Amino acid sequence: MPTQEIDFSPPTAEAAPYLRPVTASLFAERAERFAHLAIGHSLGDWLNFLGQLTRAQHVVLQTLPELPLPDSATLEQARRHGMPPLDPGARPAVWREVLRQLVRSLEAPGAAGVGEALLSLREATDSELEKLADTLLDGVPEADQAARLVFVGAALQVVYTALASQLAAGRWPALEVHGVCPCCGSLPVASVVRLGAAINNLRYLHCSLCNSEWNVPRATCSACSTDQSVALHEIEGANSPVRAETCDACNSYLKIVYQEKDPHVDPVADDLATLALDMLVDEAGYQRAGPNLLLISTAA
């Protein structure tokens, strides 16, 4: 497992602390990325299906009306306590309609369990859906829930991406911890080293739920904030824009994707196209620091 040298040079410009999700293009670009990654991939059918799901997220998001944000007293209280302004535990009921729209628009592939999951979600009551969302956000899923939770996660992503895009950046608290999204408090799915004026070569953690990004210095562990024990790993000879950043202080890892190596790289899609890298660092004893909501791990 070759370890890369880490670039400790300081960024050249003042970093934007947050990047809000761009609702017009985010899921559409991710869907294209899934389709591209599926070509010639051993898991191509699965990646193509996730591309379809992501395309459906894009379509539903474009037709979503403006959502009510938390009231100003709630926002002010969150700001005063340095808490994220959005709370996935207090999700707006519209997410269930988003889920039903996603489910209606998808054709199930032959893959085991997916057709059944779609059918079961079509018939689920509101309270059954709320229980699934609670499990996704706080619980340990059972194996028979996993396929349904992927769609629950996709629906919640649509709603929280919309909310994050509506929320004024001034409502976000100053960052005291690196490990959770300053907008919704969720864990990051991966981090992105970005190209572009003012953000060139800066690293942003990408929220697994609301698709917001927040700046964290490179070579800093997202889980425990140390900059002493971080190393990068890649699959030898893969020439991939994705690496795994491991931390020996807390034994965690998260993927890091480089726009410099591929400008179309996506923290969610590229993460799922590189499961071999997860196996590599998992075998070396590291545990993943944040989930990918399109891949649900269940109770062992």
CB of 27 to Zn ion, least distance (A): 15
CB of 12 to Zn ion, least distance (A): 26
Q: 233: part of which helix (H) or strand (E)?
A: strand 230-233
Interface with Zn ion by CB under 5 A: which range of 25-33, 198-206, 219-227, 263-271? 219-227
Residue 209 near residue 197 (C-beta atoms within 8 A): no
Cβ distance to Zn ion smaller for residue 147 or 224: 224
Tell me how far CA of residue 88 lies from CA of 5, 51, 138, 206, 242, in angstroms: 38, 24, 10, 16, 29
Site for Zn ion in 221-280 (CB under 5 A): 221, 223-224, 247, 249-250
Cβ distance to Zn ion smaller for residue 103 or 136: 136
CB of 181 to Zn ion, least distance (A): 3
Cβ distance to Zn ion smaller for residue 160 or 258: 160
Interface with Zn ion by CB under 5 A: which range of 22-30, 136-144, 218-226, 266-274? 218-226
Cβ distance to Zn ion smaller for residue 193 or 247: 247
Interface with Zn ion by CB under 5 A: which range of 53-61, 65-73, 140-148, 214-222? 214-222
Report if residue 205 touches Zn ion, rule: CB under 5 A. no
Choosing from 56, 207, 268, 295, the residue that interacts with Zn ion (CB under 5 A) is: 207
Cβ distance to Zn ion smaller for residue 128 or 227: 227
Cβ distance to Zn ion smaller for residue 118 or 293: 293
Tell me how far CA of residue 95 lies from CA of 47, 92, 184, in angstroms: 24, 6, 15
Residue partners of 132: CB distance under 8 A and separation at least 6: 124, 145, 148, 149, 152
Cβ distance to Zn ion smaller for residue 230 or 280: 230
CB of 198 to Zn ion, least distance (A): 22
Residue 61, judged by CB atoms within 10 A of its CB (0-12, 13-18, 19+), counts as buried
Please say whether the dihedral angle defined by the alpha carbons of residues 134, 140, 144 and 146, taken in this order, is positive or negative. positive
**CB atoms < 10 A from the CB of 296, how many?**
19
Cβ distance to Zn ion smaller for residue 263 or 285: 285
Q: Which residues of 114-145 are buried (b: 16+ CB within 10 A; e: fewer)?
A: beebbebbeebeeeebbebbebbbeeebeeeb
Site for Zn ion in 24-63 (CB under 5 A): none
Letters for 164-203 (x = contact with Zn ion by CB under 5 A, - = none) are: -----------------x-xx-x-----------------
Strands 252-258 and 188-193, how do they pair?
Answer: parallel
Report if residue 210 touches Zn ion, rule: CB under 5 A. yes
Q: How far apart are CA 141 and CA 298, in angstroms?
A: 5
Report DSSP state, residue 252. Answer: E
**CB atoms < 10 A from the CB of 112, how many?**
8
Residues that bind Zn ion (CB under 5 A): 181, 183-184, 186, 207, 209-210, 212, 221, 223-224, 247, 249-250
